Amino acid sequence: MNISSALVFGNNEYGQEIAKNVTHKYSSITIFSLEDIDKDDNSAFKLEQFDLSEDWDELNEQYDMDSSIIFCAINEEAKNIFLTISLRSSFKDITIIALAKNNEDANKLKMAGASKVIPIVETTANIITDMLKKPIITEVLHNILYEESRLKIIQVTLSSVDAFTGLYPAEIDWSKKYGVLVLTIVHEDDSHEFIYSSKTKHNYLKSGDVLIVAGYEEDLQNFKHSIGGE
């Protein structure tokens, strides 16, 4: 049996980036795909095909489920929810981390049996993959996934930028002033910039920009209130 395994359901950008970010923690990582597996796929991880009608007996035989963690990262939310229900019914005590595209789906995934749910921004898959590649984001996600932490990641739409007049995003001490960590800025045209990229050092915030923010619930709510965010 494999010991300390990460089982990632969803052979997509999310699944690949999750796998990359947990390689240091798990001795075995497998990505499961609903689609036929391309033999020429150059994935750095073991790939296996599955379908939603699985009874998971083979999974139980192949992996030590008591020392494994499951990530549900299928792009289609209905399938992701069904998968979570199916896995939870078979493995009562395993940790299941699920990705949700909005708060409604997050609530459904929690009801389906997910141990923890990570909301992702709907605008583009590149945002989350860019974020995951940054060391500071890896640390934040580590705390969210593996520690008993109240850390959350939310999006805040700026209805006003009066609080940031004359300041570039990278110049603002978000942690000291608001107790939060701003990760990414999403503009109205759906383009996005990591907070400490060279672009953000030369662009002011604009009304309608969306900030991707990490922090504790109370700090996040205070932040939204203090800047008039939505």
pLDDT tens-digit readout, 151-198: 777 888 888 888 888 888 878 888 888 888 887 788 877 676 766 665
Beta sheet of 151-157, edge-to-edge order: 151-157, 210-216, 181-186, 192-194
Burial of residue 132 (CB within 10 Å: 0-12, 13-18, 19+) is: middle
98 pLDDT above the threshold of 90: yes
State in Å, rounded, how far the first CA of the chain is from the last one: 48
Q: What is the pLDDT of residues 204-217, one digit of tens each?
A: 888 888 888 888 88
**3-class DSSP state of 215:** strand
Q: Tell me the β-bridge partners of 153.
A: 214
pLDDT band for position 230 (cuts 50, 70, 90): low
223 pLDDT above the threshold of 60: yes
The CATH number fitting domain 5-120, selected from 3.30.9.10, 3.40.50.720, 1.10.10.10, 3.40.1010.20: 3.40.50.720
Q: Where are the domains of the chain?
A: 5-120, 151-227
CATH superfamily name and code, 151-227: Regulator of K+ conductance, C-terminal domain (3.30.70.1450)
Query: Cβ atoms within 10 A of the Cβ of 124, count?
Result: 14
pLDDT band for position 123 (cuts 50, 70, 90): very low
Q: Is the pTM of this model over 0.75?
A: no
Mean pLDDT score of the chain: 80
Between CA 102 and CA 86 the distance in angstroms is 21
142's enclosing H/E stretch is helix 135-146
